[in-house]
Structure 1
C-alpha cells in the first residue's frame, strides 16, 4: 500500500474520532457547568484549555461562554480541529482513498459530512447543543458500524483502526484532564459530593455510566471512576483497552510488512506503563501528571507511525 493511502485511512478515522471526542468534551463541560453555576466561565475555559486551543480561542473571542466555546469547537472553519473542519478533512481523505473502502463506508462518511455541514451552517445556541452533540456521536457510530461490518481485516482495516484508537486514547486522557486540571474550585473539594458528581458527569459524557454500574460494585468516586477509565480492559474507551488494540493492529501490520518495529516497541512500552500500575500508584504519581504523560506518549507513537509507514509518499 502507498504511504499516502495509509495516511489517508489513518487520518480519516482520527478525524472522525476527534469529531466525536469534541462533542463529548463539550458535553462534559456543559454538564459540569450545570453543577456549578457560580462560575460557568471557568468550566468553559477548562474545556478550551484541555483541547489545547486556548491561544487560538482568545485571539478570536473575549468571553468563555457555552455559545462562544461551542461555536469555536464545532463550526469555526478557522479552527482546524473544529468538528466541521475535521469532518471535511475526513471526507476529503475518504474520497482520496475511496477505492480502498467499501461503498458502505464511503456512503456513511459522505452522509456524515452532509448532515453535519447542514446542522452547523449557522451560529449555535445553547438550546441546540444536545441535539447536535447527539447527532455527531450517532454519525460517528454509523461510520464505525459500516467499517466493522463490511471491510476485510487487512492492512486497510488496521490503519483505520489505528487512527481510531490512538485518537480515542488521547480523547479519554483529555476528558479525564478536563475534570482534574481546572474544574474543582479548591483542593478542599477533592472527595466531596461536588467532586464525585463531576466525576459521574465525566462517565456520562463517555456513555459509560451504565457500564460502570455493571462493572464496578463500589461507589461513584474519583478513584473508582479513574480506575475504570484508565485501567479497565473491558471498557472500549479506557486507556487500557485502546492500548491493547493499538498493539494488536501494529502487530498485524508488522507481520504483513516485515518492517522494523519502532512504533510497535513504543506502543508496547505505553501498554506496559498502563498494565504496570494500579490506581493507587497513579494517584501517588499524580493523576494529572500521569494523564499528561499518556498524551505525550500517544503523540510520539502517532508520529512514529507516520514516519515508519511514510504517510507523505
Structure 2
C-alpha cells in the first residue's frame, strides 16, 4: 500500500476516535457540573478536562479564565483548536475524501454525512440547546463509523491501518484520562480534610470516570461490589475483556501491526510487543505501590514513541 494512502486511513480513524473521546469526556464533565459544588472545585474540574488533552496553553492563549461555557466552546466548535470535535470531524472527512477510492461507499458516506450534519447542528444551535444530546450524537456517529468499516470493508491492509489508528488513539486517551483523574483525586485527599461526605464524593468521582469510558455497567458485572480506585485502575488498564482498557487496545495495536509488517518495522513491532507484555503480566497492586502517575506517564511516552515509529515505518514522513 502507498504510504500516503496508509497515512490518510490511519489518521482518519484516529480523528474519529479522538472526537468520540472528547465527547465522552465533556459529557461526563457537563453532567458533573450540574451537581452542587464550590466555584473553585468547578474551575479545577474544567482545568482537568483541558489537562487531559494537554490543551491548557492553547486555551490560555485565547481565554483569560476557565469557565464551563468557554471550555465547552473551545473543545466543541472552536475551529482554531485542532483538537476540538468539529476540527476532528473535519479532518476525518478530509482524510476520507483523499482516499475515497479505497473506502466502500458506505464508509465514505458515513464520514461525509457526519461532517455535513455536525455543521447543521452547530449552525442551528443544537449544541447550546442540549449539550448532552449533542455528545451522544457524536458518540453514535463514531460507533456507526466503526460498525460500517467492520461490516463493509475488505479486511486487507487498508482495514488494518484503520484499526491501528483507532486503538493507538484509544490507548493514549484512556491513559490520559486515568492519569489526570487519579492525580486530581490525590490532590483532593492531600489538600483538604476529608469529612463525612467522602463516600458520596468518591462514588460520584469514580462512577463519572467509569461512565466516561462506558465502563460503569461493566464494573458492576465484573466486581459486583463498591467502586474502589484499585479496581477502577485494574479494569481500565489490565482487563483484556474491557474494550477500552490499555491492555485490550494494545492487543489490537500489536495484532494489526503484525498484519501490515514490512522489512523495516521489526523494531516497532518489538517495542509494541514489549509494551503489551508489560501490561499483560502486570499486577495492579505492584503498579500502585510504585506509583500510578509514573507508570502512566511512562506508558504515554512509549505510546507516543510508538506512534512516531509507525509513522516512520509506514506513513508519510512528517
TM-score range, shorter chain: over 0.9
The RMSD of aligned alpha carbons is 2.0
Structure-1 separation of matches of 2:107 and 2:154: 12
CA deviations over 1:259-293 (Å, ceiling 9, x no partner): 43121111111112212311101111212222222
Corresponding residue for residue 157 of structure 2:
155
User: Cα distance 1:260–1:60, how it changes in 2: closer, same or farther (>3 A)?
Assistant: closer
Please say if 1:202 is aligned against 2:209: yes
Corresponding residue for residue 242 of structure 2:
235
Corresponding residue for residue 61 of structure 1:
63
Q: TM-score when scaled to structure 2?
A: 0.92
Corresponding residue for residue 189 of structure 2:
186
Structure-2 separation of matches of 1:127 and 1:220: 33
Corresponding residue for residue 311 of structure 1:
316
- The offset of 1:146, in angstroms, is 0.4
CA deviations over 1:155-182 (Å, ceiling 9, x no partner): 0011000000000111111221231122
User: Cα distance 1:216–1:281, how it changes in 2: closer, same or farther (>3 A)?
Assistant: same
Corresponding residue for residue 249 of structure 1:
256
Q: TM-score when scaled to structure 1?
A: 0.93
Structure-1 separation of matches of 2:205 and 2:85: 25
User: Cα distance 1:126–1:63, how it changes in 2: closer, same or farther (>3 A)?
Assistant: farther
Q: Which runs of 5+ in 1 are unaligned?
A: none
Corresponding residue for residue 213 of structure 1:
220
* 3-state secondary structure, aligned to 2:173: helix
Contact (CA 8 Å) 2:9, 2:99: kept in 1 or not?
Answer: yes
- The offset of 1:4, in angstroms, is 0.5
* 3-state secondary structure, aligned to 1:111: helix
Corresponding residue for residue 22 of structure 1:
22
Q: Which runs of 5+ in 2 are unaligned?
A: none
Which deviates more from structure 2 when the two are superposed, residues 186-195 or residues 47-56? 186-195
Structure-1 separation of matches of 2:198 and 2:238: 23
Which deviates more from structure 2 when the two are superposed, residues 165-174 or residues 289-298? 289-298
User: Cα distance 1:189–1:292, how it changes in 2: closer, same or farther (>3 A)?
Assistant: farther
Corresponding residue for residue 116 of structure 2:
114
User: Cα distance 1:205–1:126, how it changes in 2: closer, same or farther (>3 A)?
Assistant: farther
CA deviations over 1:225-244 (Å, ceiling 9, x no partner): 11101111001100010010
Corresponding residue for residue 134 of structure 1:
136
- The offset of 1:192, in angstroms, is 3.8
